[in-house]
Structure 1
Amino acid sequence: MACLLRRVSVTVFFLALWGFALGDRLLVVPQDGSHWLSMKDIAEHLSEKGHEIVVVVPKVNLLLQESKHYTRRIHPVPYDQEELEARYRSFGKHHFSPRWLVTAPMVEYRNNMIVINMYFLNCQSLLRHSDTLRFLRESKFDALFTDPALPCGVILAEYLNLPSVYLFRGFPCALENTFTRTPSPLSYVPRYYTQFSDKMTFLQRVANFLVSYLENILLYALYSKYEDLAEEVLGRQVHLPALYRKASIWLLRYDFVFEYPRPVMPNMVFIGGSSCKKQGILPREFEAYVNASGEHGIVIFSLGSMVSEIPEQKAMEIADALGKIPQTVLWRYTGTPPPNLAKNTKLVKWLPQNDLLGHPKTRAFITHSGSHGVYEGICNGVPMVMMPLFGDQMDNAKRMETRGAGITLNVLEMSSEDLENALKAVINEKSYKENIMRLSRLHKDRPIEPLDLAVFWVEFVMRHKGASHLRPAAHDLTWYQYHSLDVIGFLLAITLTVIFITFKACAFTFRKCFGKKERVKKSHKSKTH
């Protein structure tokens, strides 16, 4: 009998362990490109903890490749690999086109739409593909994990009635503020594209105020067709911001070491730097470059995965500047090598960026100011020369420059001498290294790693089927209720009514008290005549 009980106990234990190991089922709806990198890290970490991960992937994509950590559910799209690559090439080349102050916003918008229009076709194909939708309905997922920069995953979460977790970086237009009614005072919270700090002059505050209203126009241009698509899929009238407000948790790739302090909602979790990793062993090729650099060390140069080549004249100016510093420069570049490339500059198609930044011989980092690169620079304490190209990169560069951790250059206007002087400044002036090291210490001084924090909150939502206790009541109010316009109107009506009644009462009393005397006087005068 005891032996039988022991066997039953062991069986129950292993069944429980098996059930735990199976974990929950998570549906991932990613954004292709660099946005996928942080989401991929979180998905892989969740997979290692025993959860089943299914990633919805367009048949033609840039970075959404196979992995042992997740299963891909592929859906067709109406474009091929050649068109995809052509759009990204065009997108990258347009960053170096001349532009003027007045036309710059429209040029930027049109350039971004080259890729964003393709993303809409991707979303449209997914939400109209009956086989994929049927598979997702029958799979019984516990939660949906998506990047809400474009709302395909947001719409799908509503269609499948799943609690959702958003991974976001505040672009475009700081959706986490705009759609969730997070307080965002215009007096000290700068809007995207303004390149303002949180300490604005009067004229900057005027510009910030005006830009906040232009954001609504941009949001309409970007999202109105998604709202129409949502109505088609859900079979009812849809207000897109209302769908965004159903998110259980916003995982924001922010850290106040990098961002300017501002209010946030209780369902917003900061995981800035989640892509930073411990320094790994360098591949033999790069170890040889580092060792050969001697006492001068190395400089890392990368403009990200979206820029494959640079116009020849600009590439030659850059190469000329790089040849005038004593450091060895590792330049990630896949375009045609500039003819004046110096011996100290090594062109590579790929480089282990985080591992190189973590090496003690790294002296500076030339970056386009993408958030992944900036956080890796902060984590490893490497001062930066920043050449922002598009999107939030200008604002990212402004933040780092404000903190004295780098120098910003306008890639369209800079000369070879400008780049040379900027590099020599961040390498030789101690203040840049001291400031970036201070930011690095602050960033690393935390009770839990950002990646582990992100994983915890995704698991939390899967365990509890959401996080409704963190959802602010502001999400349920109409716009006039949120701004208390109905209360103001009610109190104003009462005030005006009281004033009106008081005025009428005073007028009536005045007439009663003084009107009779006036009539007596007039009648007395008429009798004397």
Structure 2
Amino acid sequence: MAPAIFASPLPLCVCLLLASGFAEAGKLLVVPMDGSHWFTMRSVVEKLHHRGHEVVLLVPEVSWHLHTSLNCTVKTYPTSYTLEDLNREFMIFSNSHWKTRESGGFSFFMNPLSDVFKYIFSHCRSLFNDTKLVEYLKDSAFDAVFLDPFDMCGFIIAKYFSLPSVVFSRGSFCHYFEEGTQCPSPTSYVPRGLSRFPDVMTFKDRVWNYIALLMEHLFCHRFFKYALEIASEVLQTPVTAYDLHSPVSIWLLRNDFVLEYPKPVMPNMVFIGGINCLPGKPLTKVSNLSFSILKKTGLGHKNAETNNKNKIELLT
């Protein structure tokens, strides 16, 4: 039988793990998501390793970008699919949604689940079939699991080994985010992710926002059904999405609170907006030379209109 749900208060080790230089280094198990999700997480993983934390990256043998070189320990495990299978199913999925893009955002809910997501979810079963890797993870005494919530495997690993989890995400397009964090999100005031409604909704907008939430429940249950079957198989007990989301210790949200809809947040939600942006360029410096040139040219004896024109020409 798998270990019980980790329900203790926020562990001190997680706070120390994410704190800066003065904290003692910790041991972190990273369960990433392939594709564009990894590009952002990678920068954080590199920074954690640079600060002295021991980082172990857990990746499947077949992936698009996860095998890019990193200066940390990488543990791989075999998968039941090839890279050709993954590419083929992704192209089928992508082409089908390009054909139906005119139907609006809700068309995504109506399409059948692509096999590409079944491949993404199935790698977690392959991980737990690797008995040597499971024993290694059990004996390594990690302090926390750093995960991307999309493929659910990080949740399963954290629950199986009774480890605190730190979620790194832009948010969730499903209602499990609000339910798992017990964060209020009334449909009369907070628009759903794909609704495109403003923060001040009319009565008609609120009705459609509630319908969008109902469609979310139908879609999300179907979308994550295969992943929950794997979770129930690994944990040897029936598992719901709420069971996996609710024990999360910290939610690191890659967005800015001021850019979001006004809504309540919970104490374990940390906004880290700006991490998806390029570093800002320094402002152009204005030297005293420009002003000295203006004085020597005698521009003060001309009228104001000519003055402004010549200043612009000199400065450009």
TM-score normalised by structure 1 residue count: 0.46
Post-superposition offset of 1:22 = 8.5
The alignment partner of 1:257 has SS state of: helix
Post-superposition offset of 1:162 = 0.7
Match of 1:182 in 2: 183
**Greater helix fraction, Structure 1 or Structure 2:** 1
Post-superposition offset of 1:266 = 0.8
Post-superposition offset of 1:192 = 1.9
In structure 2, relative to structure 1, the CA distance for the partners of 1:107 and 1:247 (3 Å cut) is: closer
Contact kept, 8 Å, 1:41 with 1:275, in 2: the verdict is: no
Match of 1:146 in 2: 147
Post-superposition offset of 1:174 = 4.7
What is the aligned residue count?
263
> Does residue 236 of structure 1 match 2:254?
no
| Alpha-carbon distance in 1 for matches of 2:100, 2:233 | 41
Q: How does 1:322-401 map to 2 (within 5 A)?
A: none
Match of 1:497 in 2: none
> Does residue 118 of structure 1 match 2:119?
yes
Contact kept, 8 Å, 2:128 with 2:234, in 1: the verdict is: yes
Post-superposition offset of 1:203 = 0.8
Match of 1:297 in 2: none
Contact kept, 8 Å, 1:36 with 1:63, in 2: the verdict is: yes
Match of 2:55 in 1: 53
In structure 2, relative to structure 1, the CA distance for the partners of 1:202 and 1:61 (3 Å cut) is: same
Match of 2:41 in 1: 39
Contact kept, 8 Å, 2:109 with 2:219, in 1: the verdict is: no
Deviations 1:477-506 (A, max 9, x none): xxxxxxxxxxxxxxxxxxxxxxxxxxxxxx
Could you list the structure 1 runs, at least 4 aligned residues long, displaced by more than 6 angstroms after superposition: none
Match of 1:29 in 2: 31
| Alpha-carbon distance in 1 for matches of 2:109, 2:186 | 26
Q: How does 1:385-424 map to 2 (within 5 A)?
A: none
Q: Share of identical aligned residues, percent?
A: 40
Contact kept, 8 Å, 2:31 with 2:146, in 1: the verdict is: yes
Post-superposition offset of 1:276 = 2.6
| Alpha-carbon distance in 2 for matches of 1:246, 1:209 | 27
Deviations 1:261-283 (A, max 9, x none): 2111111111122133425xxxx
Unmatched tracts of structure 1, length 5 or more: 1-19, 280-357, 361-529
| Alpha-carbon distance in 2 for matches of 1:204, 1:88 | 34
Q: Of the two, which has the highest radius of gyration?
A: 1
| Alpha-carbon distance in 2 for matches of 1:35, 1:166 | 12
| Alpha-carbon distance in 1 for matches of 2:129, 2:206 | 44
In structure 2, relative to structure 1, the CA distance for the partners of 1:98 and 1:165 (3 Å cut) is: closer
| Alpha-carbon distance in 1 for matches of 2:241, 2:108 | 27
Match of 1:521 in 2: none
Q: Which amino acid aligns with 2:73?
A: T
| Alpha-carbon distance in 1 for matches of 2:171, 2:44 | 18
In structure 2, relative to structure 1, the CA distance for the partners of 1:99 and 1:244 (3 Å cut) is: closer
Deviations 1:356-403 (A, max 9, x none): xx599xxxxxxxxxxxxxxxxxxxxxxxxxxxxxxxxxxxxxxxxxxx
| Alpha-carbon distance in 2 for matches of 1:262, 1:207 | 19
More relative contact order, 1 or 2 (CA 8 Å, 6+ apart) = 2
Match of 1:206 in 2: 207
Match of 2:290 in 1: none
Q: How does 1:67-466 map to 2 (within 5 A)?
A: 67-98=69-100, 101=103, 105-106=106-107, 110=111, 113-278=114-279
Post-superposition offset of 1:90 = 3.0
Q: Which amino acid aligns with 2:81?
A: Y
Post-superposition offset of 1:36 = 1.2
Deviations 1:192-236 (A, max 9, x none): 221111111211110001211222112211223333322221223
Contact kept, 8 Å, 1:149 with 1:172, in 2: the verdict is: no
- Equivalent of 2:67 in 53, 65, 68: 65
CA RMSD in angstroms comes to 2.6
Deviations 1:422-464 (A, max 9, x none): xxxxxxxxxxxxxxxxxxxxxxxxxxxxxxxxxxxxxxxxxxx
Unmatched tracts of structure 2, length 5 or more: 1-21, 284-316
In structure 2, relative to structure 1, the CA distance for the partners of 1:56 and 1:171 (3 Å cut) is: same
| Alpha-carbon distance in 1 for matches of 2:214, 2:147 | 27
| Alpha-carbon distance in 1 for matches of 2:168, 2:184 | 20
Q: Which amino acid aligns with 1:152?
A: C
Deviations 1:307-340 (A, max 9, x none): xxxxxxxxxxxxxxxxxxxxxxxxxxxxxxxxxx
Post-superposition offset of 1:144 = 0.4
Q: Which amino acid aligns with 1:198?
A: D
Q: Which amino acid aligns with 1:45?
A: K
